[in-house]
């Protein structure tokens, strides 16, 4: 379901740049505007989080640091006591405490999104290991 909204820009160059970028990305102007607005709103709530492109699409990252899902994968779960997890992630990733806390705050708000990225990464790792094992079996045989 879509929710139409009219947007007017004070400068024509903004609309022109939006259309040009949408054309470059092979998407509609509306889809790109929605993506940019959503990311902008998220960044306002989480100023240490940005977004970057990659093979799996756009994803949340710490500004000047790793993807949020990578930090969360190193913080949530595991055998480190919960009280020590943030400090462990600080050491592991070479981040400041506020960066790890920013990743956690983003995760708290967008849990399903980050969980999906964690799951996709697990699947990719399992597939890569399976392929490697088949290659080793072929070499051994």
Q: Are residues 40 and 75 in the same domain?
A: no
Closest residue by Cα to residue 62 from 91, 98, 86 = 98
Residues in the chain: 141
Residue 109 confidence (pLDDT): 98
CA distance 110 to 49: 12
Mean pLDDT of the chain: 92
Q: Is 2 inside any structural domain?
A: no
Q: Is pLDDT of 88 > 80? A: yes
Helix axes 97-109, 68-75, angle to 10 degrees: 100
> Are 21 and 62 part of one and the same domain?
no
pLDDT digits (tens, 9 = 90+) for 9-52: 899 999 999 999 999 999 999 999 999 999 999 999 999 999 99
- pLDDT-derived band at 79 (thresholds 50, 70, 90) equals confident
pLDDT the model gives residue 19: 94
- 117 and 134 co-located in one domain: yes
* Structural domain boundaries, residue 29: 8-45
Q: What is the pTM of this model?
A: 0.85
Q: How far apart are CA 122 and CA 97, in angstroms?
A: 26
Residue range 46-75, pLDDT digits in tens: 999 999 998 888 999 999 999 999 999 988
User: How far apart (Å, rounded) are the C-alpha atoms in residues 124 and 43?
Assistant: 28
Q: How far apart are CA 124 and CA 63, in angstroms?
A: 25
Separation CA 117–CA 23 (nearest Å): 27
- Pairing status of strand 49-52 against strand 59-62: antiparallel
Q: Are residues 60 and 81 in the same domain?
A: yes
- Element of type H or E holding 50: strand 49-52
Asked, for residue 68, whether it belongs to a domain, the answer is: yes
Give yes or no: residues 74 and 54 share one domain. Answer: yes
Same domain, 63 and 111: yes
Same domain flag for 14 and 30:
yes
**Number of separate domains in the chain:** 2
Q: Are residues 92 and 54 in the same domain?
A: yes
């Amino acid at each position: 379901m879509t929710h139409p909204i009219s947007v007017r820009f004070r400068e024509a160059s903004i609309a022109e740049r939006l259309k040009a970028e949408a054309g470059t990305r092979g998407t509609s102007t509306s889809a790109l505007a929605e993506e940019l607005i959503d990311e902008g709103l998220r960044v306002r709530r989480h100023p240490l989080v940005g977004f970057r492109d990659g093979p799996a699409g756009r994803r949340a990252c710490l500004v000047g640091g790793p993807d949020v899902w990578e930090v969360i994968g190193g913080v949530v779960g595991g055998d480190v006591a919960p009280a020590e997890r943030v400090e462990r992630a600080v050491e592991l990733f070479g981040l400041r405490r506020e960066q790890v806390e920013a990743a956690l705050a983003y995760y708290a708000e967008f849990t399903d999104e980050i969980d999906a990225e964690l799951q996709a990464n697990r699947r990719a790792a399992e597939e890569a290991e399976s392929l490697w094992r088949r290659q080793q079996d072929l070499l051994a045989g």
